Amino acid sequence: MATILAACSPLLPKTAMKAGWKASPNFDGRRPNLVIIHHTGNPTLEQALHTLTSPERKVSSHYLIGRDGEIFQLVEENARAWHAGQSWWGGFTDINSVSLGIELDNNGHEPFADAQIEALLALLADIRKRYKIPRANFIGHADVAPTRKDDPSAWFPWQRLAEQGFGLWCEAPLSPAPVGFDLALALTAIGYDPRTPEASRKAFRLHFVRTDQTLSAEHENALAFCLLQQKRSAGP
């Protein structure tokens, strides 16, 4: 099901200094701890592939999944793909260095195809098995770059992913947040950037609130409190 478009050769020493080479077996490859999900914003798969492989565009991801469920690997997992850009999550500012990026062929204004989501779930299960990524660390591009991005859009089925252990989700009825609950602090604890509170709050709503829901302040606080409790119980 996977098509490999590009692969990186083994990394060689980059220092300009004169240095002898004595190989040691005591090392690991880059180990991602986040998965960032995107939509391409392109109308066709061919355009998305062109964008993600063009030297001029300087953007990439580890994987691209077509509407029909075909998976393309564009960058090796131990390499740093250029998919997150300027971003922030849980105190990390170089998200590209700690994450895998997955692009979904979708223009951002349409439902995601079922075959595509099934392929995504299979890929996420494979990634989780190999890297033991915590369930709270499957997030969207808008979560880590809320002032710039809105993908993977309000059409994305976050609840369906959470039911398989990829990401957090809370359903009604929700227990009220405790007296004195601070929403901004809770969003920071979940992972959102405290430097951009309104944009982070908007990204939080995009991810965790269904489009058919009305959201009072009490409901918003209860939702954030529930998600925070879930994240704490899930562990690192």
Q: Do 183 and 99 fall within a single domain? A: no
Q: Which of 46, 56, 70, 103 is catalytic?
A: 103
Does 194 sit behind a cis peptide bond, omega within 30 degrees of 0 on the bond before it?
Answer: no
Q: Are 142 and 108 in contact (CB under 8 A)?
A: no
- pLDDT score for 235: 62
pTM (2 d.p.): 0.90
Helix (H, G, I), strand (E, B) or coil at 138: strand
User: What CATH number has the domain bearing residue 67?
Assistant: 3.40.80.10
H/E run at residue 175: none
- pLDDT score for 202: 96
Q: Do 224 and 148 fall within a single domain? A: no
Residue tagged 């033991």 (tokens): 132
**Residue at 1 is within a domain:** no
Instruction: Check pLDDT > 90 for residue 13.
Output: no
Indicate the pLDDT class of residue 226, thresholds 50, 70 and 90.
Answer: very high
- pLDDT score for 26: 76
Q: Which of 172, 184, 157 is nearest to 213 (CA)?
A: 172
Q: Do 54 and 146 fall within a single domain? A: yes
Q: Do 190 and 210 fall within a single domain? A: yes
Q: Which of 147, 171, 145, 149 is nearest to 158 (CA)?
A: 171
**Residue at 18 is within a domain:** no
Domain endpoint, select from 121, 149, 169? 169
- Residue 64, domain extent: 30-169
**Is residue 103 annotated as a catalytic residue, yes or no?**
yes
H/E run at residue 89: none
Mean pLDDT of 90-115: 97
Q: How far apart are CA 218 and CA 215, in angstroms?
A: 8
Q: Do 114 and 184 fall within a single domain? A: no
Q: How far apart are CA 2 and CA 78, in angstroms?
A: 17
- pLDDT, one tens digit per residue, over 195-207 is 999 999 999 999 9
Rounded to the nearest integer, the mean pLDDT of the chain is 91
**Residue at 177 is within a domain:** yes
**Residue at 211 is within a domain:** yes
Q: Do 118 and 219 fall within a single domain? A: no
- pLDDT, one tens digit per residue, over 163-193 is 999 999 999 899 999 999 999 999 999 999 9
- pLDDT, one tens digit per residue, over 110-159 is 999 999 999 999 999 999 999 999 999 999 999 999 999 999 999 999 99
- pLDDT score for 14: 55
Angle at 160 between CA 154 and CA 161, to 5 degrees: 90
- pLDDT score for 18: 80
Helix (H, G, I), strand (E, B) or coil at 231: helix
Q: Do 201 and 107 fall within a single domain? A: no
Instruction: Check pLDDT > 90 for residue 9.
Output: no
**Residue at 11 is within a domain:** no
Domain endpoint, select from 145, 169, 193? 169
Mean pLDDT of 105-114: 97
Q: Do 82 and 155 fall within a single domain? A: yes
Q: Do 71 and 126 fall within a single domain? A: yes
Domain endpoint, select from 169, 185, 217? 169
Instruction: Check pLDDT > 50 for residue 8.
Output: no
**Residue at 21 is within a domain:** no
Angle at 132 between CA 126 and CA 134, to 5 degrees: 110
Share of the chain above pLDDT 90, in %: 82
Single-letter amino acid, residue 187 = L
Q: Which of 193, 143, 132 is nearest to 168 (CA)?
A: 143
Q: Do 165 and 52 fall within a single domain? A: yes
- pLDDT score for 38: 98
Q: Do 204 and 94 fall within a single domain? A: no
- pLDDT, one tens digit per residue, over 29-38 is 788 999 999 9
Indicate the pLDDT class of residue 3, thresholds 50, 70 and 90.
Answer: very low
Q: How far apart are CA 26 and CA 46, in angstroms?
A: 41
| Region of residue 187 (left: phi > 0; alpha: psi -120 to 50; beta: else) | alpha
Tell me how many domains the chain contains: 2
**Residue at 23 is within a domain:** no
**Residue at 7 is within a domain:** no
- Higher pLDDT among residues 210 and 45, named by residue: 45
Q: Which of 204, 28, 232, 27 is nearest to 134 (CA)?
A: 232
Q: How far apart are CA 104 and CA 65, in angstroms?
A: 5
Q: Do 192 and 202 fall within a single domain? A: yes
Mean pLDDT of 82-98: 96
Q: How far apart are CA 134 and CA 154, in angstroms?
A: 23
Instruction: Check pLDDT > 60 for residue 82.
Output: yes
Q: How far apart are CA 101 and CA 152, in angstroms?
A: 12
